[in-house]
């Protein structure tokens, strides 16, 4: 029996991508890009002087879509930073202009529809300049197994997810059915694409499992996977076969007298910002013997339902747990992470002890003393390690990939 035209197209597409990856890897360096299209999108966006819009939530930087006065000081006078502030700071290391864009902090598929619609409206109306790109650490996870359950034809294996995106998008959106929020997100992203604005999104951090970021199914959207400190594809990256670009996801935050740096203190990307809880955890525990400090997770945590969401578990843990040092594996189990998950494995690689509630992970010296030096060079002021695809997505303009925090430091020196 002759193969179907769809099967032939998938095979040709897979061959073309493999061939491009091999060509791009000439000289021994692993390719950052799955396709030539992805490389061209990154190159054009990074060469543009127009700003990168960062879709996220902010506590320090003033979003361009908020007219009210934005006070970055907390009640205690500390200028804390939020997730979006870190993402924007990473972008600013290698790109000259940023435009923080506040999204609804009550995140779900319907609020995200409103966020993308509002962004497209603002760009088309000229309320914000046309950006070089949109960067989003938002992950809208969907199970490949559950999507395949809706299929009437051959299911889509993970290895074919990139080349059969159109099929998956039709299943998720109900062929663009009115009222389907996934269809509406795709339509709003289509407005950005029509305006020549690419979107770089975090692939997700749940690997190895069957979840993928549904945003990456839309045309003009490029999923970004994380490279670890050694330049390897991080095992926690969701749906690696859907990834278009690989970038450093390993970023160390340092606190200086001038503010917070994401480039090992060579530059201060968030002047005036502070990380008081993280600094206190490092100052209180680094250098002390772990065995004298470690606490046991309360037994009542084990009574939580197995399927309880991480945020509900976290809320309960804050109510019943004593702040202090715990074994990393015990704390992750309390959060509800499966032992085989990429998040669990990644955290154990970083160190055997974890502080609650700051989630600072400590390594130990040969004599059992706690150590926090994720850069590995003794750089002063290291207070927080960020390691996720959320921090790879803003790193697409990196001159070189695979050197973790050292890459950002080098970029800041240039």
Average pLDDT (269-296) is 95
Average pLDDT (372-401) is 91
pLDDT exceeds 80 at position 218: yes
Distance, in Å, from the CA atom of 205 to the CA atom of 199, rounded to the nearest integer, reads 18
Query: What is the pTM assigned to this prediction?
Result: 0.87
The distance from CA 295 to its chain's CA centroid, rounded to whole angstroms, is: 30
For residue 341, give the nearest of 235, 197, 256, 245 by alpha carbon: 235
The distance from CA 245 to its chain's CA centroid, rounded to whole angstroms, is: 13
255: pLDDT confidence band, cut at 50, 70 and 90? very high
77: pLDDT confidence band, cut at 50, 70 and 90? low
69: pLDDT confidence band, cut at 50, 70 and 90? low
For residue 411, give the nearest of 395, 399, 396, 394 by alpha carbon: 399
pLDDT exceeds 90 at position 225: yes
Instruction: Check residue 178 and give its pLDDT.
Output: 87
Instruction: Check residue 339 and give its pLDDT.
Output: 87
Average pLDDT of every residue of the chain? 87
46 Cβ contact partners less than 8 Å away, ≥ 6 residues apart: 94, 95, 132, 396, 397
**Maximum CA extent, the chain:** 73
pLDDT exceeds 80 at position 325: yes
17: pLDDT confidence band, cut at 50, 70 and 90? very low
pLDDT exceeds 90 at position 134: yes
Q: Which residue has the tokens 């074994």?
A: 327
Higher-confidence residue: 225 or 20? Answer: 225
Instruction: Check residue 170 and give its pLDDT.
Output: 93
Instruction: Check residue 10 and give its pLDDT.
Output: 40
218: left (phi over 0), alpha (psi -120 to 50) or beta: beta
18: pLDDT confidence band, cut at 50, 70 and 90? very low
Average pLDDT (366-387) is 94
Instruction: Check residue 303 and give its pLDDT.
Output: 78
């Amino acid at each position: 029996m002759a193969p179907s035209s769809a099967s032939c197209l998938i095979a040709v597409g897979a061959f073309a991508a493999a061939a491009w990856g091999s060509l791009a890897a000439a000289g021994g360096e692993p390719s950052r890009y799955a396709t030539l299209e992805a490389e061209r999108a990154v190159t054009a966006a990074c060469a543009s002087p127009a700003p990168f819009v960062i879709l996220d939530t902010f506590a320090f930087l003033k979003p361009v879509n908020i007219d009210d006065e934005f006070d970055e000081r907390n009640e205690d006078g500390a200028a804390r930073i939020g997730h979006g502030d870190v993402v924007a700071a990473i972008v600013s290391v290698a790109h000259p202009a940023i435009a923080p864009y506040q999204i609804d902090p009550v995140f779900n598929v319907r609020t995200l529809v409103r966020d993308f619609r509002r962004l497209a409206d603002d760009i088309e109306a000229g309320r914000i300049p046309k950006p070089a790109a949109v960067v989003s650490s938002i992950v809208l996870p969907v199970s490949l197994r559950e999507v395949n359950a809706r299929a009437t034809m051959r299911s889509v294996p993970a290895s074919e997810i990139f080349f059969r995106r159109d099929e998956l998008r039709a299943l998720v959106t109900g062929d663009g059915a009115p009222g389907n929020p996934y269809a509406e997100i795709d339509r709003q992203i289509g407005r950005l694409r029509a305006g020549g604005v690419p979107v770089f999104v975090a692939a997700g951090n749940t690997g190895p499992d069957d979840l993928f970021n549904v945003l990456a199914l839309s045309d003009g959207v490029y999923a970004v996977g994380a490279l670890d400190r050694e330049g390897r594809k991080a095992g926690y990256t969701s749906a690696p076969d859907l990834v278009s670009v690989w970038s450093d996801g390993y970023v160390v935050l340092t606190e200086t007298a001038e503010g917070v740096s994401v480039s090992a203190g060579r530059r201060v990307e968030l002047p005036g910002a502070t990380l008081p809880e993280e600094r206190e955890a490092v100052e209180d525990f680094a250098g002390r013997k772990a065995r004298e400090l470690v606490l046991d997770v309360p037994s009542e945590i084990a009574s939580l339902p197995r399927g309880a969401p991480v945020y509900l578990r976290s809320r309960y843990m804050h109510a019943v747990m004593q702040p202090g040092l715990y074994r990393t594996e015990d704390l992750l189990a309390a959060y509800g992470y499966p032992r085989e998950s990429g998040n669990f494995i990644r955290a154990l690689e970083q160190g055997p002890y974890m502080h609650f509630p700051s989630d600072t992970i400590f390594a130990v010296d040969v004599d059992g003393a706690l150590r926090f030096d994720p850069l590995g060079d003794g750089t002063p002021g290291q207070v927080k390690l960020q390691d996720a695809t959320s921090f790879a997505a803003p790193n697409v303009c990196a001159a070189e990939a695979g050197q973790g925090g050292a890459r950002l430091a080098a970029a800041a020196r240039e």
